[in-house]
């Protein structure tokens, strides 16, 4: 069996990606349990809102009295449309906070998977902070990409580390924002490439898994099939698409490994911790020898 993942260590490009996969493999059941406990409600609520929205679009698209489909904005930007956005934001926040809290406790427990009850203490403390901070960060990144592509590309790696800094170091918004950029000093290219590949793996996994669901949803909305069958296809497709959120654990874990890699290069905290632990073990053994 492979040795348990040590987060506080230096890693190269390939090691970050391989250790992300290995960590998920070693702790899959515990991670899945935490995912279901803390993200399940938001995913179910998102499914309900999405089904209502899709059924509304289906009705507007198949309305024989409306030859110009979707000419009214209120047929698209409905209450359910905005509810889908809200629950999507909640889901992404819940995934970030629950998985990062899991990692913090995993390190504190000497590489043992924590229970959902243990994760809850961290989750309820960080959820609101990460949610509102994430809104500002999202707007900041969108503005950076909108006004000029290069600033958006430059800030994206730092903002990918933002949540990890806030949870791992219990940082404020301003501290986490500045710390994210400081960690990237002299390591921007490697980190940006690593994060880009990790996100591509996550999105490719989500897209591949949800591809049949997309076809079902589109078929149920626009194809001339029976009304009952189209509704079934929309419901099944929406459920599958939302279940694919589980793949979002990949970039969260990958960015956490990038954070620890960068922190270790600048501060060597993990190395100092291991040196201290060796010293403690040595003292403990010497005490036993003296008693003997």
Alpha-carbon distance of 209 to 44, in angstroms, equals 18
Name which residue leads in pLDDT, 48 or 291: 48
pLDDT for 154-199, tens place per residue? 899 999 999 999 999 999 999 999 999 999 988 999 999 999 999 9
Burial (Cβ within 10 Å: 0-12, 13-18, ≥19) of residue 241: buried
Q: Are 248 and 95 in contact (CB under 8 A)?
A: yes
pLDDT for 121-165, tens place per residue? 999 999 999 999 999 999 998 888 887 677 788 899 999 999 999
- Note the pLDDT of residue 54: 82
| Continuous H helices in the chain | 13-26, 28-61, 79-108, 116-147, 149-168, 173-183, 188-222, 227-243, 249-267, 269-291
- Note the pLDDT of residue 288: 37
- Note the pLDDT of residue 74: 55
**Around Cβ 104, how many Cβ atoms within 10 Å?**
21
The domain segmentation of the chain, as residue ranges, is 13-291
**Around Cβ 288, how many Cβ atoms within 10 Å?**
9
**Around Cβ 4, how many Cβ atoms within 10 Å?**
14
Alpha-carbon distance of 19 to 231, in angstroms, equals 42
In sequence order, which residues have a C-beta less than 8 Å from that of residue 6 and are 6 or more positions away?
Answer: 111, 270
Residue 61: pLDDT over 80? no
Picking from 9-18, 48-57, 95-104, 272-281, which range would have the lowest pLDDT averaged per residue? 272-281
Residue 65: pLDDT over 60? no
Average pLDDT (205-220) is 74
- Note the pLDDT of residue 273: 59
- Note the pLDDT of residue 207: 86
Q: Are 7 and 26 in contact (CB under 8 A)?
A: no
């Amino acid at each position: 069996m492979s040795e348990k993942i040590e987060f506080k260590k230096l890693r190269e490009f390939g090691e970050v990606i391989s250790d992300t996969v290995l960590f998920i493999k070693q702790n899959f059941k515990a991670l899945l349990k935490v995912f279901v406990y803390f993200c399940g409600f938001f995913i179910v609520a998102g499914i309900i809102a999405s089904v209502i929205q899709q059924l509304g679009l289906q009705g507007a698209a198949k309305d024989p009295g409306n030859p110009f489909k979707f000419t009214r904005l209120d047929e698209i930007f409905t209450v359910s449309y905005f509810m889908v956005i809200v629950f999507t934001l909640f889901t992404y926040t819940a995934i970030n906070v629950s998985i990062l809290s899991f990692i913090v406790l995993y390190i504190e427990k000497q590489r043992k998977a924590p229970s959902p009850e243990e994760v809850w203490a961290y989750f309820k403390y960080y959820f609101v902070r990460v949610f509102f901070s994430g809104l500002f960060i999202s707007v900041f990144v969108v503005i950076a990409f909108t006004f000029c592509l290069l600033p958006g590309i430059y800030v994206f790696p730092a903002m990918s580390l933002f949540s990890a800094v806030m949870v791992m170091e219990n940082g404020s918004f301003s501290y986490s924002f500045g710390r994210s950029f400081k960690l990237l000093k002299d390591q921007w290219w490697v980190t940006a490439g690593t994060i880009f590949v990790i996100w591509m793996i996550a999105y490719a996994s989500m897209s591949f898994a949800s591809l049949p669901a997309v076809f079902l949803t589109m078929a149920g909305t626009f194809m001339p099939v029976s009304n009952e069958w189209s509704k079934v296809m929309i419901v099944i497709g929406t459920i599958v698409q939302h279940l694919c959120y589980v793949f979002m654990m990949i970039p969260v874990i990958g960015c956490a490994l990038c954070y620890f890699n960068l922190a270790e290069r600048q501060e060597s905290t993990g190395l100092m911790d291991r040196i201290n632990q060796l010293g403690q073990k040595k003292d403990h053994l010497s005490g036993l020898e003296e008693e003997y």
